[in-house]
């Protein structure tokens, strides 16, 4: 009952243009090719992809729903530029969701899935030292695979979203090589799940996510909320 993988190649319909643009932009943002705060005019996007504004607009709308771009009415779209505070909030939500996920999964992992999990963990270890972007992506994959196992579409959707946004936050505020998820921690979690110890598995995962957040954000650079900065400087100014 917990062995169904998430994608069984569902029809492979030829992808609407909107979706193509959506995916492309999503990737560009997650790989930091489009840096946080960057302006994304509909015209420019349409032109870049050889489509009309209609497409660009719809893609931007979806990205906004995922929290990867911010959509200001009559102003335009910008790559999401989460504050450190928001970043912490995102990690908090992620921790809550992942705890519930592994609790639900504990004791329902069959042998084949267990093998896949162990393989993924090994792969992580191997690639941890390579490119930073790759490491971030790979780390997310383990978590998303687990999400797929739950068979809970909403949980899966939310996790996809928060994992994406966590990647973004880590890329923004994280120290260079802080993205790796720690193969040892993953292993422990899988152990607990296999043992059917849902309480322990949940606690481990919750702690794991919090730990990743803590590791990454040690080197947090001050975020550029212009208003706040100005307020600070205004307060420091010589009076009168």
Partner DNA sequence: TCTGTCAAGATCGTATGCACTATTGCCGGG
Partner DNA sequence: CCCGGCAATAGTGCATACGATCTTGACAGA
Which residues of the chain form contacts with a second copy (CB under 8 A)? Answer: 13, 16, 58, 61-62, 65, 67, 73, 86, 89-90, 92-93, 95-97, 99-100, 104, 150-155, 158, 162, 165
**Shortest separation between residue 75's beta carbon and DNA, angstroms:** 5
* Binding-site partner at residue 99 among DNA, a second copy, none, CB < 5 to 8 Å by type: a second copy
CB of 38 to DNA, least distance (A): 12
Whether the CB-CB separation of 144 and 159 falls below 8 Å is answered with yes
> From a second copy, DNA, none, which one binds at residue 90 (CB under 5 to 8 Å depending on kind)?
a second copy
Angle of CA points 179, 189, 194, to nearest 5°: 145
CB pairs under 8 A, 24+ apart, for 36-40? 36/79, 36/80, 36/81, 36/82, 36/168, 36/172, 37/78, 37/79, 37/81, 38/78, 38/79, 39/76, 39/77, 39/78, 40/69, 40/76, 40/77, 40/78, 40/79
Per partner kind, with CB cut-offs from 5 to 8 A, the member of a second copy, DNA, none near residue 100 is a second copy
Q: CB-wise, 35 or 54, nearer to a second copy?
A: 54
Give the one entry of a second copy, DNA, none that residue 55 binds, where binding means its C-beta sits below a cut-off of 5 to 8 angstroms depending on kind.
DNA
Q: How far is it, in rounded angstroms, from Cα 7 to Cα 85?
A: 34
Which residues here bind DNA, judged by CB under 7 A? 13, 16-18, 39-44, 46, 50-55, 57-58, 73-77
CA diameter of the chain: 73
User: What is the closest distance, in whole angstroms, from the C-beta atom of residue 27 to DNA in the complex?
Assistant: 18
Beta strands in 20-159 (DSSP E): 69-72, 76-79
Q: Least distance to DNA from the beta carbon of 56, Å?
A: 8
Residue 76: name its binding partner from a second copy, DNA, none (Cβ under 5 to 8 Å by kind).
DNA
């Amino acid at each position: 009952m917990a062995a169904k993988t998430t994608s069984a190649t569902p029809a492979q319909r030829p992808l609407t243009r909107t979706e193509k643009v959506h995916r492309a932009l999503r990737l560009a943002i997650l790989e930091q090719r489009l840096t946080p705060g960057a302006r994304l005019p509909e015209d420019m996007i349409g032109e870049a992809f050889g489509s009309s504004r209609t497409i660009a607009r719809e893609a931007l709308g979806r990205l906004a729903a995922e929290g990867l771009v911010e959509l200001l009415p009559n102003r335009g779209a910008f790559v999401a530029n989460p504050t450190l505070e928001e970043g912490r909030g995102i990690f908090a939500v992620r921790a809550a969701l992942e705890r519930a996920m592994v609790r639900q999964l504990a004791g329902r992992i069959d042998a084949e899935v267990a093998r896949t999990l162990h393989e993924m963990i090994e792969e992580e270890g191997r690639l941890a030292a390579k490119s930073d972007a790759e490491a971030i992506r790979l780390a997310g994959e383990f978590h998303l695979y687990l999400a797929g196992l739950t068979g809970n579409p909403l949980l899966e959707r939310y996790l996809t979203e928060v994992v994406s946004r966590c990647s973004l936050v880590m890329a923004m505020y994280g120290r260079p090589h802080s993205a790796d998820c720690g193969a040892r921690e993953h292993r422990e979690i899988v152990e607990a799940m296999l043992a059917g110890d849902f309480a322990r598995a949940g606690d481990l995962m919750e702690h794991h996510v919090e730990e990743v957040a803590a590791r990454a954000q040690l080197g947090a650079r001050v975020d550029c909320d212009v208003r706040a900065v100005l307020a600070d400087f205004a307060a420091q100014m010589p009076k009168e």
